[in-house]
Structure 1
Amino acid sequence: MSKNAKTLAGIVIVIVIAVAAYFGFAQTGSKSASEKTIKDLKVYFVPSKQPDQIVTMTKPLKGLLIKQLKKEGYDVKNVDIKVGTSYEAAGEALASGTADIGFIPGGTYVMYQDGAQVLLTATRSDLNKNFSEANKWNDGKETKAITKQAATYRSLVIAGPSQKGQQLAKKINSGEKLTWEDVNSAKWGLSSTTSSAGYIYPSLWLNKHFNKTVSDLKNTVTVDSYGSGMARLASGQIDILPTYADARRDFADMWTTDYKQSQPIWKETNVIGVSQPIYNDTISVSKKSKTMTPEFKKALSKSFIDLAKTKEGKKVIAIYSHEGYVPAKSSDYDGERNAQKLLKETRK
């Protein structure tokens, strides 16, 4: 082969390699773009507030999350928001893969941890009252939020304005201890079995003080949300409602308007029991969802953390009294696991 021919052949080879490299890059880029296009992102919320209220307040999340994920390089076409009919329904949706993302309590996460992965933990404003003694909450004054952020909260056992509720409150506020007969003779409103504040930790409180659990109570009803529970407490249909520590703040206005009570909630209700600290709610994702790649989970975490720092984002997450998010790990909820383990043992 002549020198010119060799030179020509070399040029051709270089061109072929360059063309091949170009098309290979184009195909790779096309694949990457495809992987970063998400047709539908399904988000589930638990019904800890009135479902229609949750739907209304979280509606802007669709556009906000799409916009935030766009900054992370993901093109999300639609965000579908649903409120589960129960805490378990939200957990099961994550476990089955019919939901991609779930705003769920720690108790629900632990119950469905085989199919769900905790991504973030919510932070909230701490309260000016954070006592382990029940009667210290009962000064008749409003519980207020402070600037300090907290990663834990407490479950409070609240006695209502019914005759039995007031009887139990009077005993606590005079410094006396309640007996099992006292609490067992009252009518309780309980949340779903995976609710940390409405079921699990109140059960631990009963176990600690009376060597009993909620399954031993003779007079209970299930409330499908804290809103309906508060309505029943106000009307006297139930005497006791276990709930999260700042619930009375959330329902203070409704107490005298929707529930038509003559006195403020701070005067008509009293704390008769206080749980140990509980780790805050989670944003968890489905292990079954094909959308939840390691890269997308990283982008999703950053998006929610950044979203919570915006004025619009804060309005959305305020439905659960969330004020921000921090990265979470599974071991953060070992306390919840221990709590559920004890519950299982006491049920045997």
Structure 2
Amino acid sequence: MSKNAKTLAAIVIVVIVAIVAYFGFTHAGAKETSDKTIKDLKIYFVPSKQPDQIVTMTAPLKGLLTKELKKEGYDVKNVDIKVGTSYEAAGEALTSGTADIGFIPGGTYVMYQDGAKVLLTATRAGLNKNSSDPEKWNDGKPTEQTSKQSSKYRSIFIAGPSKKGQELAKKVNAGEKLTWEDINSAKWGLSSTTSSAGYIYPALWLNKNYKKTISDLKSTVTVDSYGSGMARLASGQIDVMPAYGDARRDFASAWTTDYKQPQSIWQETNVIGVSQEIYNDTISVSKKSKTMTPELEKAVSKAFINLAKTDAGKKVIAIYSHEGYEPAQSSNYDGERDAQKVLKNLQK
């Protein structure tokens, strides 16, 4: 082959490579653009507060999240927000892929970890009361938030104004340890079986202190939300309800208005038991979602972390007392896994 022919052949090859590279780039770019257009992003919340209250307070999340994801190159056409009828319903929605993102407790995440992946852990303001001694929660003064952020909390067992609730509180405040007979004589209001504060850790507490489990309790009812549970506690329909550590703060106003109690929640309720510390709620995503990709997961994580730093975002996540988010590892919730193993063994 002559020198000119070789030169011509080299030029042809370069041109062909350039053309292929160009069309390959534009095709990949088109695919990327298409992948970053999200028709519908579905978010599920657990009903730890009144469902209508959650829907109202989280409504601005649609615009806020869309705006944050836009910064990451994603064009989200619609954000659909739903409140599950139970904690399990939210977990099942993630497992089936009918939900893309879920605001769920650690216990629910672990229960449905085959179909859910944890992205973020919520941080909350710490509390000025964090003792494992229930008597120290019962000074009649409000539980106050501190400036220090915390990724953990406790379950407290709140005794209401019923005759039995007051009887148990009197013993605790006198420095007496409650007997199993005391515990078993009360009517308990319990959350769903995947609720960390409302079921799992109370069950561990019963096992640790009395070698008993929830199934051994003579009288229990299931409350579908902490709001409805507090209403039952106020009216005396139940004597004791386990809840997250700052639950009384959240329902202090409703106690005397909606529930029409004559005195404040701090005067009419007492803590009779306190769990070990629990890792905070999660933002998890569905492993079965057709929408979620590793790239979108990173974008969602960044969006929620940034969103929580804005005034508008803080108002939205305040529904769960969240104040911020930090990246989570699955291993953060090994304590929940251990807890659920104990529960399974107790139920055998």
TM > 0.5 fold call: yes
Paired with 1:24 and 1:210, the residues of 2 have a C-alpha distance of: 68
Within-5 A mapping of 1:160-239: 160-239=160-239
- Shift of residue 209, structure 1, vs aligned partner: 1.3
- Where do 1:281-320 residues align within 5 Å? 281-320=281-320
Opposite residue 215 of structure 1, the aligned amino acid is S
Residue segments in structure 2 that go unaligned for 5+ positions in a row: none
Structure 1 range deviating more: 282-291 or 16-25: 16-25
For 2:66 and 2:171, locate their aligned partners in 1 and report how far apart those are by CA, in whole Å. 53
Q: What fraction of aligned residue pairs are identical, expressed as a percent?
A: 80
SS in 1 for 2:276: coil
C-alpha RMSD over aligned residues: 1.5
- How far does the alpha carbon of each residue in 1:223-244 deviate from its partner, in whole angstroms, 9 at most, with x for none? 0000000000000011001000
Shift of 1:16: 4.3
Alignment partner of 1:65 is 2:65: yes
Residues 220 and 15 of structure 1: is their aligned pair in 2 closer, same or farther, counting only changes over 3 Å?
A: same
Distance apart, 1:125 and its partner CA: 0.2
Instruction: Measure how far apart 1:100 and its partner are.
Output: 0.7
Inter-CA distance 346–2: structure 2 relative to 1 (3 Å threshold)? closer
Partner of 1:269 in structure 2?
Answer: 269
Report the TM-score when normalising by structure 1.
0.97
Instruction: Supply the AA of the counterpart residue of 1:320.
Output: Y
> Which residue of the partner structure matches residue 77 of structure 1?
77
Q: TM-score, normalised by structure 2?
A: 0.97
1:12 & 1:151 partners in 2: Cα distance? 62
Give, as a single letter, the amino acid of the residue that structure 1 aligns with 2:276: Q
CA distance in 2, matches of 1:271, 1:50: 23
Q: Which moved more, 1:151-160 or 1:34-43?
A: 34-43
1:192-234, CA deviations, whole angstroms, 9 ceiling, x for partnerless residues? 0000000011111111111111111111110000000000000
Residue 30 of structure 1 deviates from its aligned partner by 0.4
SS, match of residue 259 in structure 1: coil
Amino acid in structure 1 at the alignment position of 2:172? I
**Residue 156 of structure 2: aligned partner:** 156
What are the Cα deviations for residues 241-274 of structure 1, in whole angstroms up to 9, with x where unaligned?
Answer: 1000000000000000000001000000000000
- Stretches of structure 1 that go unaligned for 5 or more consecutive residues are none
| Partner residue in 1 for 2:329 | 329
Corresponding residue number in structure 2 for 1:25: 25
Q: Secondary structure at the match of 2:215?
A: helix
Q: CA deviation at 1:346?
A: 1.2
2-side partners of 1:236 and 1:314: how far apart? 35
Letter in structure 1 aligned against 2:247: A
Alpha-carbon distance in structure 2 between the residues aligned to 1:18 and 1:341: 59
Deviation at 1:14, TM superposition (A): 4.4
Instruction: Give the partner amino acid of 1:226.
Output: Y
Give the aligned length.
348
Residue 128 (structure 2) aligns with: 128
Question: 1:293 deviation in Å?
Answer: 1.6
The whole-number CA distance in structure 2 between the counterparts of 1:30 and 1:251 is 51
Question: Structure 1: how far apart are the matches of 2:10 and 2:173?
Answer: 95
**Deviations 1:273-303, CA, capped at 9 Å, x for gaps:** 0000000000011111132221111111111
Query: What is the CA–CA distance in structure 1 between the aligned matches of 2:344 and 2:4, rounded to whole Å?
Result: 85
Change (3 A) 1:2 1:334: closer
Equivalences for 1:78-97 in 2 at 5 Å?
78-97=78-97
Cα distance in 1 for partners of 2:6, 2:193 equals 80
Instruction: Report Cα offsets for 1:124-156 as digits up to 9, x if no partner.
Output: 000001111000100000000000000100000
> How far does the alpha carbon of each residue in 1:48-76 deviate from its partner, in whole angstroms, 9 at most, with x for none?
00000000000111111111011111111
How many Å separate the matches in 1 of 2:277 and 2:58?
28
